Structure 1
Amino acid sequence: MQLSLIILGFVFTLFSFLPLIPSPLWWIRVLDFPRLHVAMFLSIILAAYVVYFGIESTQEIAMIAVWGLAILNELRYIINFTPLMKIEALRTEQKHPANSFTLMISNVRMVNQKYDKFLERVQEARPDMLIMNEPGHEWHDHVCKVLDKEYPYSIKKPLDNTYGMLLWSKNKLHDSEVRYLVEDGIPSFYTVVELPSGDKFCLFTVHPQPPRLMLNTEPREAELLLVAKQAKKTPYPAVVAGDLNDVAWSRTTKLFKQISGLIDPRVGRGFYNTYNAFVPIFRYPLDHVFYDPQFRLVNLRRLDKFGSDHFPILITLNYEPHREQEQEHPTADKEEKQEANELIQEGLEKGEERSQEKQNSDS
Structure 2
Amino acid sequence: MREGIFGTLTLFMVLLTLLPLWKHPVWWVRSWDFPRLQLCSVAFGLLIGQAIFFSHAEPLRVVTIALCALCLAYHAWWIIPYTRMWRHEVKPALESEDHPRISVMTANVLTPNRNAEGLRALVQEHQPDVLVTLETDAWWEAQLSSLESAYPYSIRCPLDNLYGMHVYSRFPLENAETSFLVEDDVPSMHALVVISEQLKVRMHFLHPAPPSPTENDSSTERDVELLIVAKSVKDDPGTPIIVTGDLNDVAWSANTRLFRKTSGLLDPRVGRAMINSFHAKYWFLRWPLDHLFHSHHFRLVRIGRLPAFGSDHFPVLVELQYAPAPEQQSLQSDADDEQAVAEKVAQKDASAEDVPEPEKR
Q: Same fold (TM over 0.5)?
A: yes
Q: For 2:279 and 2:251, locate their aligned partners in 1 and report how far apart those are by CA, in whole Å.
A: 15
After TM superposition, list the pairs within 5 Å mapping 1:123-134 onto structure 2. Answer: 123-134=124-135
Unaligned runs of 5+ in 1: 350-363
- Answering whether residue 179 of structure 2 is matched by residue 179 of structure 1, we say yes
- The answer to which structure has the higher helix fraction is 1
Residue 65 of structure 2 corresponds to 64
Query: What amino acid is the match of 1:226?
Result: I
Aligned residue identity for 1:263: L
| Cα offset, 1:197, TM superposition | 4.8
Q: Check conservation: 2:298, 2:321, Cα contact below 8 A.
A: yes
* Higher deviation after alignment, 237-246 or 44-53: 44-53
CA distance in structure 1 between the partners assigned to 2:320 and 2:191 by the alignment: 17
CA contact (8 A) 1:221 1:343 kept: yes
CA distance in 1, matches of 2:39, 2:133: 31
Inter-partner Cα distance in structure 2 for 1:169 and 1:97: 22
- Following superposition, the deviation at residue 326 of structure 1 comes to 3.0
Task: Give yes or no for contact 1:89–1:265 (8 Å, CA) kept in 2.
Answer: yes
Q: 1:98-136, CA deviations, whole angstroms, 9 ceiling, x for partnerless residues?
A: 311111111011110001111001101101110001111
Residue equivalent to 2:7: 6
Question: In structure 2, do the counterparts of structure 1 residues 26 and 73 end up closer, same or farther at CA, with 3 Å as the change threshold?
Answer: same
Query: What is the aligned residue count?
Result: 346
d(CA) in 1 for partners of 2:98 and 2:79? 31
Q: Give me the identity figure in percent.
A: 36
Per-residue deviation at 1:33? 0.7
Name 1:359's counterpart in structure 2: none
Residue matched to 1:239:
242
Match for residue 300 of structure 2 among 280, 297, 303:
297
State TM-score, norm by structure 2: 0.92
Aligned to 1:221: 223
Match of 1:286 among 283, 286, 289: 289
Query: Contact 2:260/2:330 (CA < 8 Å) preserved in 1?
Result: no
Contact 2:108 2:135 survives alignment (8 Å):
yes
Aligned residue number for residue 166 of structure 2 = 166
Q: Is structure 2 residue 267 aligned with structure 1 residue 251?
A: no
Distance 1:200 1:104, change over 3 A: same
Report how far residue 76 of structure 1 moved.
0.5
Conservation of the 8 A alpha-carbon contact between 1:13 and 1:42: no
Matched residue type, 2:7: I
Q: Distance in 2 between matches of 1:313 and 1:329?
A: 21
Aligned mates of 1:73, 1:103 — CA distance in 2: 33
Letter in 2 for 1:273: N
- What residue identity is the alignment partner of 1:230? S
Runs of 4+ residues deviating >4 angstroms: none
Partner of 1:15: 16
- Residues of 1 paired with 2:10 and 2:40: CA distance? 11
Residue 89 of structure 1 aligns with an amino acid whose one-letter code is: V
Trace 1:327-342 onto structure 2 (pairs within 5 A): 327-342=328-343
Structure 2 unaligned segments of length 5 or more: list them: 351-361
Deviation sequence 1:131-176 (CA, Å, 0-9, x none): 00111111112112x1222111110001100011100111111111
How far apart are 1:97 and its partner, in Å? 4.9
Q: Does structure 1 retain, via aligned residues, the 8 Å contact 2:257–2:331?
A: no
Aligned partner of 1:150 in structure 2 is 150
Structure 1 counterpart of 2:242, which letter?
Answer: V
Q: What RMSD in Å do the two structures reach over aligned CA positions?
A: 1.5
Q: CA deviation at 1:347?
A: 4.3
